[in-house]
Amino acid sequence: MKKRMKILLNGIFKENPVLILALGCCSVLAVSVSVTGGLGMGAALTFVLVCSNVVISLLRNVIPSKVRIPCYIVVIATFVTLVEMLMEAYLKSLYDSLGVFLSLIVVNCIVLGRAEMFASKNGVVDSFFDGLGMGIGYTMVIVGMSVVRELFGAGTLLGVRIIPEGYQLGILTQAPGGFFLFGCAIAILVAAMAKKGKKFEPKMGCDGNCAACGTACGGRKEEAK
Amino acid sequence: MSKIFLILFTLVFTENYVLVQFLGICPFLGVSQKLSSCVGMSGAVIFVMTLASAVTWGIYEGVMVAFHLEFMRTIIFILVIAALVQLVEITLKKYMPPLYKALGVYLPLITTNCAVLAVTILNIDESYNFLESCVSGFSAGVGFSLALILFCGVRKSLERAKPPKCFEGLPISLVAAAFTSLTFMGFTGMAERVFGG
């Protein structure tokens, strides 16, 4: 049980997918304009991540390694479609506000990265906790960003007005504010780690090849040379 | 005709995929270190986006609507894009080796680029016709390239800059991206003024 707890906390803090591994930043930057959107996106991604991790872990001995990435994509896309249909039926306004980013969970680096790096090598229960931890880690970052952006950018929190009209920094809810805030968040993390005496160098994306994160990415680079 | 130009202008400037809509951030941050790789990646993205827009439009209108499979859109589109990229890679390797040499390395990198999947989905959501879809794919690609190449220049100057220690590397690049994105906000409203959209 202690090991499971460690896997769970690993995703939330030590290997936080967004801040430390710099994966899946597209949706974090785009959706974090409102807290409701952030919560919805976090929940959707966590659901997909947990389900796909469990299924891929169950199938890890059946899937031939040469076609593993298309197989993973099919599994993930199935769960994404499921979430899309459920959300369109029961939470229509959230579905509209998330827009295309809900479908784009399919190509989210975190989901494919965990399938490749963890679920394809570990047991079902471990994979479940890994998915849950990574999902919670992602949700925490996206909700944290959206609290700052909604509170200072629009002056509201979950739609309730907190800062009176005319005192908000509108730029925070727009694209430049997203980039700026995300940069600051990582810088604060680096500074905090440095204070604790730990060195941490933030990663620079993953060459855009989300599907082949981790091990496969290294192979691809060698091939390119 | 004016609609075509409106799509072209909006997707390149006012609704730029990378800097305004946050699509394709990973390659934007990952590949923008060297100008040569920026140009290669840009060429590959424009090519694949245009082709993917054309092919997915055909499959959606021709097959999926006819058999009421619209709900399978996400799965089918991502598989079509993956297969398409493989096919393009093989064809180029066999028949156009110089072009393959220039773009080949970057082709596999775009299979799961979110900007490519997004453009095919948005074409359907906006209910574009065939020509409009192709133009939208092409101009989204051009917008991506513009952002990537411009940011590559910004990145070059960043190398010489001395930011505070904690901002070194990724954080300062993100802040620079914020300012690049800010300049693109200057185009807001221009498309409607020029093309009477």
pLDDT tens-digit readout, B62-79: 999 999 888 888 889 988
What's the distance, CA A208 to chain centroid?
15
* C-beta neighbour count of B174 within 10 angstroms: 26
Computed over every residue of chain A, the mean pLDDT equals: 83
Residue B138 has pLDDT above 70, yes or no: yes
- Which of A187, A137, A159 minimizes the C-alpha distance to B178? A187
Residue A216 has what pLDDT?
37
**H or E segment to which residue A156 belongs:** strand A156-157
Mean pLDDT, to the nearest integer, of B132-156? Answer: 93
Per-residue pLDDT, averaged over B80-84, amounts to: 88
Structure tokens at B145: 């390239």
pLDDT, position A210? 45
Q: What confidence tens digit (pLDDT) does each residue in A97-144 have?
A: 888 889 889 888 888 888 888 888 899 999 999 999 999 999 999 999
- The pLDDT of residue A10 is 83
In percent, the amount of chain A with pLDDT more than 90 equals 36
User: Which residue of chain A has the CA closest to B164?
Assistant: A187
| Residue B15 · residue B21 · CB < 8 Å | yes
Query: Which H, E and C letters describe chain B, residue by residue?
Result: CHHHHHHHHHHHHHCCCCCCCCCCHHHHHHCCCCHHHHHHHHHHHHHHHHHHHHHHHHHHHHHHCCCCCHHHHHHHHHHHHHHHHHHHHHHHHHHCHHHHHHHHHHHHHHCCCHHHHHHHHHHHHCCCCHHHHHHHHHHHHHHHHHHHHHHHHHHHHHHHCCCCHHHCCHHHHHHHHHHHHHHHHHHCCHHHHHHCC
pLDDT tens digit string along A44-59?
999 999 999 999 999 9
Residue A21, classified by CB atoms within 10 Å of its CB into exposed (0-12), middle (13-18) or buried (19+), is buried
CB B161 within 8 A of CB B172: yes
| pLDDT band for position B137 (cuts 50, 70, 90) | very high
Q: Which of A30, A106, A202 sits opposite B170 (nearest CB)?
A: A202
pLDDT of A172 over the 50 cut: yes
Q: Could you state, in order of their start, the residue ranges of all structural domains in chain A? A: 2-216
Least confident of A13-22, A60-69, A197-206: A197-206
> How much is the average pLDDT of B31-51?
85
Q: Which residue has the higher pLDDT, A60 or B196?
A: A60
pLDDT at A160 > cutoff 80: yes
The whole-number average pLDDT for the span B95-104 is: 79
Q: Are B99 and B128 in contact (CB under 8 A)?
A: no
Pick the residue from chain B with its C-alpha nearest to A105.
Answer: B114
pLDDT of residue A209: 45
Q: Model confidence at A203, in pLDDT bands (50, 70, 90)? A: low
**pLDDT over 50 at B60, yes or no:** yes
pLDDT at residue A204, rounded to an integer:
55
CB contacts, 8 Å: A210 with chain B: 26, 112-114
From A1's Cα to the closest Cα of chain B, the distance in A is: 36
H-helix or E-strand spanning residue A160? strand A160-161
What band does B26 get if pLDDT is binned at 50, 70 and 90?
confident
ipTM of the complex, rounded to two decimals: 0.85
CB neighbours of residue A93 within 10 Å? 10
- Choose among A199, A205, A197, A217: nearest CA to A28: A205
∠ CA A66-B70-A28 to the nearest 5 degrees?
A: 65
Chain B residue with minimum CA distance to A85: B71
**C-alpha–C-alpha distance, residues A152 and A172, integer Å:** 7
| Most B CBs within 10 Å, among A21, A26, A48, to test the B interface | A26
Return mean pLDDT, chain B. Answer: 86
Whether pLDDT at A214 is above 50: no
Are B73 and A100 inside 8 Å of each other by CB? no
Q: What is the mean pLDDT of residues A68-80?
A: 89
Question: Do A209 and B165 count as a contact with CB atoms less than 8 A apart?
Answer: no
Closest by Cα among B45, B49, B42 to B119: B49
Mutate one of B13, B15, B20, B26 to test the A interface: name it (highest A CB count within 10 A): B26
Q: Closest Cα partner for A210 from B104, B15, B117, B12? A: B117
Q: Name the percent of chain B lying above pLDDT 90.
A: 27
Taking the C-alpha atoms of residue A211 and residue B174, their distance in angstroms, rounded to an integer, is 23
Say whether residue B146 is in contact with chain A using an 8 A CB cutoff.
no
Sort B99 into a burial class: Cβ within 10 Å, 0-12 / 13-18 / 19+. middle
Which pLDDT does position A223 carry in this prediction?
38
The CA dihedral of B17, A159, A95, A118, to the nearest 10 degrees, is 80
What pLDDT score does A218 carry?
Answer: 35
Q: In this structure, what token pair is assigned to residue A116? A: 């490749």
B181·A73 Cβ contact <8 A = no
Closest residue on chain A to B73 (Cα): A81
